[in-house]
Each structure stands twice: as structure tokens, then as C-alpha cells.
Amino acid sequence: MSAPHETPHATARATTEGTVYTVTGGDWDEVVQSAAKADDERIVVNMGPQHPSTHGVLRLILEIEGETVTEARCGIGYLHTGIEKNLEFRNWTQGTTFVTRMDYLTSFFNETAYCLGVEKLLGIEDDIPDRATLLRVLLMELNRLSSHLVCIATGGMELGATTIMIYGFRDRELILDAYELITGLRMNHAFIRPGGLAQDLPPGAVDHLRELVRTLRKNLPEYDKLATGNPIFKARMQDVGYLDLAGCMALGATGPILRSAGLPHDLRRSDPYCGYETFEFDVPTADSCDSYGRFLIRLEEMRQSLRIVEQCLDRLEPGPVMVADKKIAWPAQLALGPDGLGNSLDHIKNIMGTSMEALIHHFKLVTEGFRVPPGQAYAAVESPKGELGAHVVSDGGTRPYRVHFRDPSFTNLQAMAAMCEGGQVADVIVAVASIDPVMGGVDR
């Protein structure tokens, strides 16, 4: 083996597997040249796990020949946090606190899938108050917007289109403000609970949301103006990350990837939950099977989500947001105090001063939790990335026996090799961005 050729941007060291270059920015040509001087023809490039354009700690292992990728593989697991195992050691209500952190860009979807599963096990699907269901839909659709905005923003940034990035995060910020108003948190809300919601909308929230919808309606066309007809953008996106319908079905790809292959499969339509059958919206598709098609679908889905949000706001009527069954409903009534969100003074007064039974109830539900009859259930929602399924198993105890999440990012990421092999190195970034993987969801 020849001696490693150093460049200012790529230190080299010899290993038993060949020369290993550590590239930290700089001129790619220099690296390729120095690698070409070595007598080894095969070059394996490790992209990540900490590369800004691999969406978190995703590791791409690319075998390249010149600029062409001959083989592509994913290395995942760098963000595995054992959430599914941890769930087995908390009670059913505490579970939402964990699942909300899985795919951290689609918190409300994780929470809803989990809660729908638990509610199915409890047999209380029909007892969930309408207002709670409507607010779940509203939050999920806002969440679809904020997730797609991040996808488009980071995807644009990876192409060097920083304006799209700024615009995307600007609009996402508006949505996060709405989350903060409603749940108290910008991310990781744990707001949707088995049986309903943690609390009702605060005063002024409906007006705030209507204003938000107006603003977003004004802002969304800017993405069209910036990107949709932009020749550079199109040249980078079109025919890149190609995956046709047969490939999608075999690899289990769902969400915008499947719809970009022309199949209008959307669980909100084909297997409705949370009353989606009563909402008016369209399921956009494309027939190009490529990254550009997925971009257009995401843009259109954001408009459709705004329609659903408006319909939710029109339908909202006062009422409870938690199931009436006091053996399941979380006993606390939350209120905003001087030190943040906590139990309302009314509730404290009730349990500490007037009703011993209420105190016992509160204590039992908070420390022990409710029991869920033995059995298993599968609840699936259409997350911005595809089918998000929760397989929930109970052994009749106060803790989940097993919860497994079928995260769409995890499944869709398998399609990376099919999309990238035979293409250019630069197109790998575009293809991965169009899958929109979030490693918190992939690794859980």
C-alpha cells in the first residue's frame, strides 16, 4: 500500500482496511485526487453520523466510483434511547411523556397514536369527548405543517437555498408559538393523554389560531415563488431519489414517498380515525416518483392542513376535554400559577379540604395509575412521514406490557439504498432529504 497522501483538509492514516481519510470541509476534489493516488480503487465514504446534512445522527456508508455511488447503506442506532423499554416501567399516562420524544418533530402524532391504542385497549374510543378529538385533529394538522416546514427548510438548506431555510423556520416558529400558547411547550408536549387532553385551550387561543392560519395562508405561496418554478431547484430535485410504486410497496414506504408514486393512500381517508371522514380535504399526489414530486406534495398538504385547521376551529364547541370516567381521567385540573403550570387551587382545595374520596382518587390515580384489561391493539395515524403505528400490549397492569412504534421514518429510510445507488454523491443528500427521516423516530 502506498503512503497516505495528506491534504490540508483531510488527514489520513493507514489502517488494516486501507487508508482512512478524515474530511472536515474543504475541497472535495483534493480528497478525491489524493485518494486516486492510492492504488486502492474502491472508496468507501462515511457520511455522518455527525454531518449536518444527514438529518441528525444518521450514518451513510457510500461506496463511490468517482462521483457515482455504487452502493449505499445506512448505519442507524446512534440515537437509540430505549423509549419502548422505558415505557414498560411507567404507568399508562406517563407513557405520553416518552412517546412525544420519539419523532420530536411530530410529537402530537406520536401522542395520538399511543393514546388511540390505549383507548382501544380500554374500550373507551366512543367516550372521548368531541372537543378533545377536534383539538387532537387541530394539533395534528398544525404539527403536519411544522414538520413539513422543517423538511422543506432543511431540504432547501442542503441544496444551498438558505432563503428557504429562513422562511421555513420563520413559519415554523409561528406554529411553535401557537403550541406554546396551547400546551405551554414548544416541543415534547405530552399534551394528548389517554382519555383526552391535559387541559383545555387557554383564553384567546381560537383568535390566535385564526390569525395564525391567515398569516400562514399569506406565507405559503412564498415557497412556490421561491422554489417551485426555480430552474436550479428543479434541476437538483427532479428525477432524484426515484422510487416507483412497486418499490414503495415492497419497501413499505408510506406518506409523501408513496403519494409521489401516484397512489393516493392516506390513512386519514382509507382508515379514518379521530373523525377524519367528516373533514373536507384533498390528498395530493404526483406521478414523478422523485424528490420534486414529494416537495410539491408536502407544499400542497400544508394547504390542505390549513383547511382542516379552519374546519376544526369552526366546529369547536365548549365541552369537556377528558373522558368522564373518573377511574381513568387524570384527576388534576391544571391552571397557570405564578410558578408555571400546575394543579389548580380549586382542585387542591377540593381534595385537601372537602372531599376525602377525591383525595384518595387523586392519590391512587397519580401514584398507581389505572389498569388496562389484558390484550393488544394497533392504532395507526397518518403522520407527515407516513403510517405511524402503535402496537400496544397490556397484561392487565398499571404499566404498558409492551409498546412498539412502527415509525414511518424507520421504514422509509430503508428506501435510501434503492433511491441513491447509481446516482451522484450530491444527489444522496437530496434523496435523503426527500425521505425526511428524523432520527429520534428512527432509533427511538
Partner 1 sequence: MSDEQQSGNNVPSPRDDTGEVIGVRKGMFGANNGGDTSGYGGLVRTVTLPGASARPYGGPGGVFDEIADELEGALEEQGIAPGNALVKTVVDRGEITFHVAREHLVQVARTLRDDPALRFELCTGVSGVHFPGDKGRELHAVYHLRSLTHGRLIRLEVSAPDADPHVPSLVAVYPTNDWHERETYDFFGLIFDGHPALTRIMMPDDWQGFPQRKDYPLGGIPVEYKGAQIPAPDQRRSYS
Q: Which residues within the stretch 357-376 sit at the binding site for partner 1 (CB under 8 A)? A: 368-369, 374-376
Distance, in Å, from the CA atom of 51 to the CA atom of 42, rounded to the nearest integer, reads 22
Instruction: Show the cell assigned to 69.
Output: 455511488
Q: Check residue 266 for interaction with partner 1 (CB under 8 A).
A: no
Task: Work out the number of other CB atoms within 10 angstroms of the CB of residue 364.
Answer: 14
Q: How far is the CB of 306 from partner 1 (least distance, A)?
A: 27
Instruction: Give the DSSP H/E element, type plus range, for residue 19.
Output: strand 18-23
Could you tell me if 281 and 267 are in contact, meaning their C-beta atoms sit under 8 angstroms apart?
no
Q: Check residue 251 for interaction with partner 1 (CB under 8 A).
A: yes
Q: How far is the CB of 176 from partner 1 (least distance, A)?
A: 29
In terms of DSSP bridges, do strands 18-23 and 192-193 run parallel, antiparallel, or are they unpaired? unpaired
Of 69, 67, 103, 65, which is closest to residue 83 (Cα–Cα)?
103
Q: Check residue 163 for interaction with partner 1 (CB under 8 A).
A: no
Q: Check residue 228 for interaction with partner 1 (CB under 8 A).
A: no
**Candidates 100-108, 174-182, 233-241, 247-255; binding stretch for partner 1 (CB under 8 A):** 247-255
Binding-site size for partner 1 (CB under 8 A) equals: 49
Beta bridge partners of 44: 63
Binding mask 370-409 for partner 1 (x = CB under 8 A): ----xxxxx-x------x-x-x-x-xxxxx-xx-x-x---
Strands (E), 262-360: 334-337, 340-343
List the end-to-end C-alpha distance of the chain, in Å, as a whole number. Answer: 42
Q: Check residue 249 for interaction with partner 1 (CB under 8 A).
A: yes
Q: Check residue 54 for interaction with partner 1 (CB under 8 A).
A: no
Q: How far is the CB of 391 from partner 1 (least distance, A)?
A: 4
Among 51, 90, 208, 347, binds partner 1 (CB under 8 A): 90
Secondary structure in 3-state letters for 199-259: CCCCCCHHHHHHHHHHHHHHHHHHHHHHHHCCHHHHHHHCCCCCCCHHHHHHHCCCCHHHH
Q: Check residue 77 for interaction with partner 1 (CB under 8 A).
A: yes
Q: How far is the CB of 123 from partner 1 (least distance, A)?
A: 7
Task: Work out the number of other CB atoms within 10 angstroms of the CB of residue 423.
Answer: 19
Among 270, 327, 346, 360, binds partner 1 (CB under 8 A): 270
Q: How many CA atoms lie within 13 A of 89 on its CB side?
A: 5
**Candidates 5-13, 80-88, 132-140, 323-331; binding stretch for partner 1 (CB under 8 A):** 80-88
Q: Check residue 261 for interaction with partner 1 (CB under 8 A).
A: no
List of residues contacting partner 1 (CB under 8 A): 76-77, 80, 82, 84-86, 88-90, 120-121, 123, 249-254, 263, 265, 270-271, 368-369, 374-378, 380, 387, 389, 391, 393, 395-399, 401-402, 404, 406, 410-411, 413-414, 443
